[in-house]
Every structure is written in C-alpha cells, then in structure tokens.
Amino acid sequence: MPEHLTHDEINSQTDPSVAKQYDSSTPKEQQIKDFFNMVDGKKIAMLNTYRNGVGPVGRSMAVAKRSGPDILLLANQHSQKFQDLSQNKEVQITFQDSKTQDWISISGTATTVSNSDPRIKELWSRGIKAWFGDLGDGKHDGGPDDPRMALIEVKAKYATYYLTQSGTLGFIKEVGTAAVTGKVAETGVLRELHEADLEQARKME
C-alpha cells in the first residue's frame, strides 16, 4: 500500500521511492537467486558502451549465456562496439520487462575474445547467422568459425534491480492511489549487489 511522505524524509534529501522500496532485509543469497532468475527470463539486453566524443551508446543484443552474475554475448568484431571497447572497457547491460516493470542494470568490465575462444562454438546457434550474412566463400558464413564471430564477456562489478511484487493490476492501482492521495507508491523492491555479493554469486553456480 502507498505510504505517507514525512518531513523527515524530505529533509534527509533522499528519493522517497527508493528509500521506501529499498530492500535491506532479504538475505543476499536469496537476492542473488532472484537476480539469476530475472536475467534468465530476459533474452534481449541493451549493451551500453562509452564512445569518445559522443558519450554512452546503446544497442540491443541477444544474450548468449549468463555465467553466474556475468554476461556472455556473441557479436561481429567489425561492429563499432568493438572500437568503443578498445577505448573504454567499462560497460552497462540493462534489461526491462514492459509487462511487469521489472528492470535490471549491470555495470562491469568487458573483455573481447576473438574467434579462437572455444566457448563460441558452445554458444553459437543457427539464428545468429541472420545477423552476419553468408558471403559464399565457405569462410564468412555466419557460422561459429566465421573470423568475424567474437565473444564479449562482461564481468559484473555492480548490479541493481527492481523486482515488482504487486502484479499488473496491483501496480496500476498502487500508482493511481499514490498519485491521488499524495502518498508514495510501493510496487516492489529495489536491491543492490556490490562486488563482494557478486563474488559470492560466482561461487553459487
């Protein structure tokens, strides 16, 4: 249910939505499990790199695999994202579920690996060919041995996510009631996973 806004909360100079929904009571192990489940249910992500002279640049990408809290992606190493990563390896990966309003943000460091990495063959699927094309030379065919095929591995350093707990109708009612009454909507929980938490996450799988 929506909660009242107090003078103390205003004076604390905090975002009341964050303060009221921030989850500090759920054990980290459960928070990590929920994080894994949320990522596994979202196959398309936005990969945001930093481009000198421009700033953050994002693009939609299919997730090849979640490895603990880290994300693996297959990509064409001729794309500009690789030029971005050669200048700055700090990246962000985001997920958004428009139905539930759940979202995830992962900040980390990207490592790029050429076609020699054996994991490419494990992660490759036929649908990936559609994004590469086939030159017809038996080499540049969009397959796992295509020299353009490369792996991006994002090692998470920080993750935050919002897990909706009110359902679609409940979400609408909660927001509507809060807007009318002047209270602050509570539709779910906001959680953070820091480096120590993510190291714990790597040991859980």
Token code pair at residue 163: 């897990």
pLDDT at 115: 84
pLDDT at 106: 98
C-alpha closest to that of 70 among 152, 153, 161: 153
User: Is 74:150 a contact under the CB 8 Å cutoff?
Assistant: yes
pLDDT at 181: 45
pLDDT at 116: 85
pLDDT at 5: 41
In the chain, what are the domains? 27-166+191-203 (2.30.110.10)
What is the pTM (predicted TM-score) of this model? 0.84
pLDDT at 164: 86
Instruction: Mark the ranges of the chain whose per-residue pLDDT is less than 70.
Output: 1-19, 166-187
pLDDT at 75: 96
